[in-house]
Chains A and B, each alone.
Chain A
Amino acid sequence: MSRRARIARPILLVLLLALVLASLVVGRTDSLSFTTAMRGAAAAVGLGSPLEGSLQAIVELRLWRVLTAAGVGAALALSGALLQGVFRNGLASPGVIGVSSGASLGAATAILLLGGEASMSIGESAGRFAPLIVTLAAFLGAAAAVGIVVVLASRRGRVSMPALLLTGIAVNACCGGIQAAIQAFSLRDYQLIRAIFTWTFGSLDDKSATQVAVVWSALALGLLVLPFVSTELDLLAGGEEDARSLGVRTGRSRALAVGAAALIAAAAVAVAGQIAFVGLIVPHLLRGLFGRGHRTLLPVCVLGGAVFLVGAEFLQLSVLGHSALRPGTFMSLIGGPFFIVLLLRQKKEFMSW
């Protein structure tokens, strides 16, 4: 590992912690003093007495919000880095190749079957498990999207760039179309529409502890998989046969990596909806800093993704305050131009595809 990586890792970690704490101070409503926010945070983890009035609840809302943002950012970035490793292509990301829209469609279908309350974590009835069911459905959708991409765009472990992008367009179009149809047919049911709308544009507000647990559990599973795929992805860069000759179970490694990528992206989408470009931008930026070796890159993407989304939300809330944009909207505003710059820089390369 390079020296730069060794220095940058703790910096990212400290930055994340600082941003998390700062996000308790700044929120949708008036900023709190730093000490108040810290006392509230301490009370939330069981140290000290809670703040007076609704302040404690406000601090905790902000805590869940920032934990959701961190988890979702980390999940999307890790998912993107894994997919880029598997497909050996820097343009692969949950949004581009259709994993996010697949997950979104899965979630929308689950909502359609369970009713608009499915997104609610607090069950007066059986709703308590609803976030898990929605996440599972999102995972199935994401897995199906990846499956289509794997079948259509790769041959003997090699992926053609145009095929990957075209497949992504096709998958996105299919999922978008089906989802729009679901919306059109359920137009009467306002509950459904609103829940599905939330999925399309993303939201990090008012998340429950269960939802935080869902996205971080998926992330934990993804992290457990990393030691079994990092070196393998490095070696797979030398080609399928080469990796096998070194003892890599290429099929299993790829399946694990893709499965983990689909699962964590699905959890992120199920909890916060579609937030585009995090999975594309973060791995790209971090590759420049830390190199392409997956054993360094993948864990660092977890930190970087969290920093990125939490930071973007913090920036939004500090500048725009209560009228801050939905995270999906904001990300598209930054992500679109970034994507264009990325393409410009690689113009020579992609003109030759």
Chain B
Amino acid sequence: MVMIEARALHLSFDGDRDVVAGLDLALEGGRLAALVGPNGAGKTTLLKALAGLLEPRSGEIMLDGRSLEGFKPRERARRIATVPQEGRALQGTTVSEFVLGGRYAWRRPWSPLTAADEAAVLAALESADLADRREDRVEELSGGERQRALFARALAQDAEILLVDEPTAALDPRHQLWVFDRLAEQADRGRAVLVVTHDLNLASQYADTMHLMAEGRLVASGAASEVLSAEVLEGLYGPDFLIGEERSARFGEPRPFILPWRRGADRPPEEPPRGDPAAGV
């Protein structure tokens, strides 16, 4: 089921140059979608627009058949949660206070904390493996823990759409996998999850759908094996990579993986070394 949909979307910061130009994208519930592409492709910009933080120059983002711009901020935040790349907090804020920030959209100004709020915060802390650190201050957390705190806050928001920006940039491999496990978990619970990432391999082994973006447009969308074809990749990144295939634990079947690999100037680009990407999976 389509939960949020962008139609003929044009985005720009200053009104001059379109960072995103004429893009269509739909996110479905129960699916983990990955948005990949080279630097400057407009991925983060698109994510902000989907989160309602950037007004489209033209085109529309539809949520429940209504334009996203018509939603009140709280109403919108109850439907869409964002995990930014990095977050700051007021000095001295504890982890659980920080995660409580995710409940903002559900609370009323004069009313005290409800049981639902507390339950949501606790559940989110547990999902993010931060339950034992909840009384610690945010500034005492390591980079990875901070990332998890941001994730927990988005979970506490209890929104059906989860937009995640570069969650693994600063993490070691074990935690990278941990993050994507959690994202897949959320998709399996029926949420629509969109993750922006540079890591094609994580995207490939976890994402139900991959969207490949370049210069403000979608170049390819679909299953990982379709999107990560040698032709498409070469067009985007040049010839210096290796492509392979390995079984994905999430899907129980093989998915492509990519390795940046300098081929050297003396050797002209040729057939990809292994397999036939055009054949698919």
Contact = CB atoms under 8 A, between A and B. Distances in A.
A247 B92 contact: no
Contacts of A241: 48, 53, 84
B97 A237 contact: no
Interface string B80-96: 11101001111111000
Nearest to B153: A246
B109 A246 contact: no
Contact of A239 (B74, B80, B88, B93): B88
Contacts of A237: 88-91
B74 A247 contact: yes
Contacts of A205: none
A249 B73 contact: yes
Contacts of A246: 77, 101-102, 104-105, 153, 157
Contact of A247 (B48, B78, B91, B153): B78
Interface in A195-237: 227-228, 231, 234-235, 237
Nearest to B111: A227
A227 B101 contact: no
Interface string A240-268: 01101111110000000000000000000
Contacts of B87: 238-239, 242
Contacts of A238: 87-90, 101
Contacts of A249: 73
A292 interface: yes
Interface-centre pick from B90, B97, B157 (highest chain A CB count, 10 A): B90
B261 interface: no
Interface residues of A, number: 19
B196 to A, nearest CB: 14
A248 B73 contact: yes
Contact of B73 (A242, A244, A292): A244
A292 B53 contact: no
A127 interface: no
Nearest to A225: B109
A247 B156 CA distance: 13
Contacts of A231: 104, 107, 109
B93 A247 contact: no
A291 interface: yes
Nearest to A85: B90
B76 interface: yes
A226 to B, nearest CB: 9
Given A242-B84, A291-B92, A228 B109 contact: yes
B88 A245 contact: no
A239 B48 CA distance: 14
A293 interface: yes
Nearest to B110: A227
A245 B80 CA distance: 8
Contacts of B104: 231, 235, 246-248
A238 B53 CA distance: 15
Contacts of B110: 227
B101 A235 contact: yes
Contacts of B75: 247
B51 interface: yes
A126 B232 CA distance: 81
Contacts of B109: 227-228, 231
Given A228-B109, A248-B104, A234 B90 contact: yes
Given A227-B110, A234-B93, A293-B93, A247 B88 contact: no
Contacts of A247: 73-78, 104-105
Contact of A244 (B53, B88, B92): B53
Nearest to B76: A247
A245 B93 contact: no
A245 B82 contact: yes
B193 to A, nearest CB: 16
Interface in B17-41: none
A237 B89 CA distance: 6
Nearest to B80: A245
Contacts of A228: 109
Contacts of B53: 241, 244-245
A245 B91 contact: no
Contacts of B78: 247
A245 B74 CA distance: 9
B226 to A, nearest CB: 32
B105 A293 contact: no
Contacts of A239: 87-88
Contacts of A234: 90, 93, 101
Interface in B96-129: 97, 101-102, 104-105, 107, 109-110
25 contacts: A227-B109, A227-B110, A231-B107, A235-B101, A237-B91, A238-B89, A242-B84, A242-B87, A244-B52, A244-B53, A244-B73, A245-B53, A245-B80, A245-B82, A246-B77, A246-B105, A246-B153, A247-B73, A247-B75, A247-B104, A248-B73, A249-B73, A292-B92, A293-B90, A293-B93
Shortest beta-carbon contacts, A-B, top 3: A247-B77, A247-B105, A237-B90
Interface of B: 48, 51-53, 73-78, 80-82, 84, 87-93, 97, 101-102, 104-105, 107, 109-110, 153, 157
